[in-house]
Amino acid sequence: MRSSCWLSVLVALPAHSSHNGPLTYTSECPLAPGSLVRVPLGSRDVPGIVWGPLAAPPDHIDPSTLRPVTAHLDSVPALSPAWLRLVDFAASYYQRSPGELALSVLPPSLRDLTPIQMGRRLRRALPPSGAAGSDALPSEPARTLSPGQAAALTAIRDGPGPFLVHGATGSGKTEVYLQAATDLLRTDPRAQVLFLVPEINLTPQFQERLVRRFAPEFGPQAVVTQHSAMTPARRLASWLAAHTGSARVVLGTRLAVFASMPGLRLVVVDEEHDPSYKQQEGARYSARDLAVYRGKLEGATVILGSATPSLESWYLSRPASEGGRYLRLSMPERIGAGALPVVRRVDMNRQSRHALLSAPLIEALRERITRQEQSLLLLNRRGYAPVLHCTDCGWKSECPHCSAYRVFHKHDRTLRCHHCGFTQPVPRACPACGNPDIRPLGRGTERLEEMLAETLSTTLRPDGTPVRIARIDADTTRHTGALESQLAAVHAGEVDILVGTQMVAKGHDFRRMTLVAAINPDGALFSSDFRAPERLFALLMQAGGRAGRDAQHAGRSEMWVQTFHPSHPVFEALKRHDYPAFAASQLAQRAQAGLPPFLFQALLRADAATQEQAQEFLNDASSLAEEHLAALLGAITRYPAVPLLMQRVANVERAQLLVESPSRPALQRFVAAWQPLLQSLRAQPRHRRIQRWAVDIDPLAI
Ligand code: ADP
Ligand code: ZN
Ligand code: ZN
């Protein structure tokens, strides 16, 4: 083979390897940037993406050592320059190598198949949609917009954005997104729209709605889904449909922010406050923030939407005169008769001690049963009890591998660690002193379900049958399809009271639900995580949004909060459904305390067998910065290394070091310059025992 061109090619080099840019190869013919290739790397043959042509090989490389590209996947069109720029930006912003990031966000089949296999796969056309069986769905026509919706849509048509649509659950945000999308899809036959959601499996209704709206007009294959839980074949088919432009609408989770969409015109980030938009390993990107960047890059409109926006986005959408960069569109009213639920706080200080369910709440549940309406009880702890303890010596069910207690699961009588999975049968007696009286401490969903059944054992439904209680949490939905069938039972009205974790608080539209109660939400009020109140407020607003969505029941839907701190500002704001007031008070506190969004943070994290090793690495890293990067440290604050809140998981000790700056560019410059120093530090013999290290930019948990 005669090789006459030089190419730089992205390959997935191991994380933090000293070389992290593209590698140089030769090729017989020029290949367009974005072409998918296979190249030799050491003794292996690996997938790569052509980054660009090179006029000459880099100076430090002897051209005779360069090896040729092994194969070109010419059946797949090249990735666009805009896509390459998105990856390049994300890699540099989140401090990873572009090759690692680029290849990790492509479907695995694109990486694994040879050109011949790929050709075969492409001929075996598979329907791309994850929305299987969707053809049978009835169509959903566009609605006549309310004045609030119409005003939002007009603003979206007129302005460049990005937009932050703020409106309660049921205020008609989705309808606005759908009509904005329809506009674009109609006017430009190449236009494509990307919808990002935090979790697809939890929100099948959203997916159905997209299909019902778009399939009749744009064809049954117009809507595809992209998320990491799909089979490789489907994921490839969906990806290709978007990549070749045949799919007009892509619905996906955070990974889909990297969907290849040559005609991208609109990106909608629904529930933009949701922490699952932040990737927690590898490149720790925020899909929400990348969506905004991508919109700018490709000239696509970006709409972020939420009833309880992240404080970051809320702050960015302050008036332009005060420096805001997003346009805030508020839609305060619920559509039709769907009033927001009345919020009632139960002061648990006045209830009998240790009561999990207060007397008035039990009464309210009984009323719902009589009226044949549904209730949802929210308790954010699965299992029977979070701890088992010995009444004699004080032994507790600690996990030997983690700094956490193992949770008591009664149905199979196990102690399970929710962090490392370590599971053992419940001991017959205290392992420390032999006392047979070991007891559960605290309550989880399993116990709540049991207590509820006892409490309501004599209560009957109007037709004389017993009350039907169901539980949905990570334990009851372990098997594929379990969640769907349990949700279907709730929708079909086969359940009177649903007990669940936050899993059920998101997105579901339960028509007959008129009571939602948070059983024990106080923990988040005093958490050391400064974002905990924001999360609690969002969760409760969202949970409350489950209630009273049906006009038939409107007016009597209620959100109950059982709390020992009824006058806490979080609950006061919740009672008034007043997100802006809540946000204003939180922002004032954050400004005063010097916290995001008023400054920017990065975490350096290290894992090792001992806490000392992990911290030593971090503190050495800090000293190196002091020594070599003094010029960049002006606007930077570095803190000493500390253990993570969950200090030990699966016998790994974890530590972190926080770096802050009021200037995002200053922080970026510093971290970028720090990166090579960190790599050389890790290579020193004294830091061999560091198992993993990572930089987390804009971390969500400190
Ligand atoms: P959100 O996304 O804010 O929760 P949706 O767009 O889902 O709100 O609207 C809530 C409900 O109201 C849905 O059932 C939707 O079909 C309906 N709806 C939305 N806009 C209108 C409208 N302009 N006229 C009538 N019904 C509407
Ligand atoms: Zn004991
Ligand atoms: Zn454990």
Give the pLDDT score at 337.
57
**Burial class of residue 248, CB neighbours in 10 A (0-12, 13-18, 19+):** buried
Q: What is the pLDDT of residues 574-618, one digit of tens each?
A: 999 899 999 999 999 999 999 999 999 999 999 999 999 999 999
Q: What is the pLDDT of residues 492-532, one digit of tens each?
A: 999 999 999 988 887 677 878 899 999 999 988 888 889 99
Band the pLDDT of 201: cuts 50, 70, 90: confident
Band the pLDDT of 60: cuts 50, 70, 90: confident
- Tell me which residue has its CA closest to atom 20 in ligand 1: 172
Ligand 2 centre distance from Cα of residue 396 (Å): 8
> Is the distance from CB of 635 to CB of 666 less than 8 angstroms?
yes
> Is the distance from CB of 374 to CB of 496 less than 8 angstroms?
yes
- What would the mean pLDDT of 429-455 be, rounded to a whole number? 95
* Highest-pLDDT range among 17-26, 128-137, 449-458, 470-479: 449-458
Q: What is the pLDDT of residues 442-452, one digit of tens each?
A: 999 999 999 99
Least confident of 117-126, 129-138, 251-260, 685-694: 129-138
- Tell me which residue has its CA closest to atom 14 in ligand 1: 170
Catalogue the E-assigned strands of 130-200: 163-167, 192-196
Any idea which ligand is nearest the CA of 395? 2
Strand-pair category, 469-472 with 438-441: unpaired
Ligand 2 centre distance from Cα of residue 408 (Å): 16
Give the pLDDT score at 143.
92
Q: What is the pLDDT of residues 70-107, one digit of tens each?
A: 999 988 999 999 999 999 999 999 999 899 999 999 99
To the nearest whole number, what is the mean pLDDT of the chain? 91
CA–CA dist 92, 595 (Å, integer): 24
Any idea which ligand is nearest the CA of 152? 1
Torsional sign, CA 53, 57, 63, 65:
negative
- What would the mean pLDDT of 150-179 be, rounded to a whole number? 93
Q: What is the pLDDT of residues 616-671, one digit of tens each?
A: 999 999 999 999 999 999 999 999 999 998 999 999 999 999 999 999 999 999 99
Q: What is the pLDDT of residues 320-332, one digit of tens each?
A: 999 999 999 999 7
CA–CA dist 149, 582 (Å, integer): 24
- Tell me which residue has its CA closest to atom 8 in ligand 1: 172
Give the pLDDT score at 325.
96
User: Quick one: which of 206, 198, 209, 214 has its CA closest to 269?
Assistant: 198
CA–CA dist 550, 487 (Å, integer): 17
CA–CA dist 264, 267 (Å, integer): 8
Give the pLDDT score at 1.
45
Band the pLDDT of 264: cuts 50, 70, 90: very high
Give the pLDDT score at 16.
60
High-pLDDT (> 70) share of the chain, %:
95
Sheet strand arrangement including 44-54: 23-27, 5-11, 44-54, 36-41, 71-72
- What would the mean pLDDT of 562-585 be, rounded to a whole number? 93
Residues lining ligand 1, Cβ inside 6 A: 143-146, 149, 167, 169-175, 335-336
Q: Choose one of 171, 271, 335, 541 to mutate for the ligand 1 pocket test, by most ligand atoms within 8 angstroms of C-beta.
A: 335
The answer to whether residue 54 scores a pLDDT higher than 80 is: yes
